[in-house]
Structure 1
C-alpha cells in the first residue's frame, strides 16, 4: 500500500463500479484501497470481481450495501468483512444482528438522505454496532453534509467519506486517509472497528459540483427506468431473501 514514511492508507470507502477505468482512475489519484459494494450482487460474485482487480498497489475489498426494509422505506447499511451472504429486503434488526454475528465492520452511508438512510433514532439504537458514519458524500448538498457531521459529533461516531462512485470518473473525489497501513480486508475491518485515527479528504472546487451533478443524474436514472426494469421485468433479484441461494435462512426476516 502506501510507501511513504507515514503509516497511512488512502481508502475510497464505497464505490459501486469496478472496471479497468476505475482501477486506472484510482491509481491516478493515489488511492491504496477501494471498497467495492455494487447493488443487487451476491457476496461471492463481489469477492470474485474484487480479487480479479486487486493488484500489489491497489487492494479492492468486497463489501455489501444491504438494502434493509421495503423499497419505499429502505435503509442502507454498508458491511465490510462479511464471511456469509446477507440479502437485501430484510428488516434492519435482522441485518444488524447478522453483521454483528459475523464480526463485520458496519458503516452508515449517507445518513438521513431521502428515504434510503438511517436516521438519528436508528443510529442511537445501534450506536454500539455502528463503526463509522459518512460525513461527506459527493451526492449531498452542503446542508446534508453538515447534518451528517452533526450526527457524528452528537453520537461520538468515527467519521468516514467515500466517492460513492457510480461512474469511474468520480472515484477518489472523496476518500478517507486511515492512520495505519492496510494490506488486507481483515486489516481494514480492524481499522474501522478500532476507530483508528483518520483524515477526511474531498474536492472542494468546481469539480465537486460537476461530480455532484453527474452522480445525481445517474441516481435519477437508477431510481426510475432501471428500478422498473429490476422490479417488474427482471424477475427475482439474486439478493432477494427468498432466493434459493439463502436456503430459507432469512425467510422470517423478509419484508416481501
Structure 2
C-alpha cells in the first residue's frame, strides 16, 4: 500500500503536549480534537502515565477503545491486551524492578525517592495530581519514576548497576524512569505498527512531543511536531527529512493544535 494514501494516526505525548504541563488541561486543543474525531482519526496516547491514568483520560476525552503506549514506552496496550516492551525475552515487572532498586539503595547508599515507597501526599506534591490521579500513578506495570537526590558520580554508578539487571534510565519531564533496556516510546510504536501491518493495516503517523523522552517517538513517525517547552531545545532529531518536522511557537495544547493544523492544512493529510 502506498503510505501516502494510508489513513492518519496521531501519536501523542500528554504532559506538556496535549495536556498543559501545570494544569493538565486540554481545553486549548479541543478544536483540533473535535476535527480529528469528526474524521474518525485515531489518537494514540504515548505517555509516561500509567494504564489507569490513560484509561481515565480516554474516558474524559471521549477517546475510549484506542490503543495506547504508557509508562514511557514500557507498556503497549491494544485490544484489551497489555505487553511489556523490552530487549530481553524475560522482561522485569514492577515488583521485580522495585526490589532491585531497594537492593541497590541498601548496598550502595544511593539517595533517591520513588513512587513505590511514596505516600499519595508526596506524589501529589511532586506532580500536582489529584488524590485519585496520584493513586492511579502508583499502579504501575514495568517502570518506576524516581527523583534523584544524590551526586553525579553516584548517578553514574547507579546507571552502571542498573545495566547489570538489564535496566536503564529514561529522563521524563519531571522524573527519571527506571525501565527494562529496550523500552522507549519509539520501540513501542514500532511494535504496534508492525502488528498492524501483519493485519494488513497501514498508517500515516504524526507524532507530537515536548521533551527528550519523546525523541525516539519523533524519530519513527512520518511527521513530527516538537512542541515548545523548557526542554524542547534538547530534542535533537537525527532524521534528515526536515520538511516533515514542525516546531511549534506555542506550548502545551495550544502548540499541539498548532502542529496538527500545520500538517493537516499544509500537506492535505
TM-score, with length taken from structure 1: 0.35
TM-score, with length taken from structure 2: 0.34
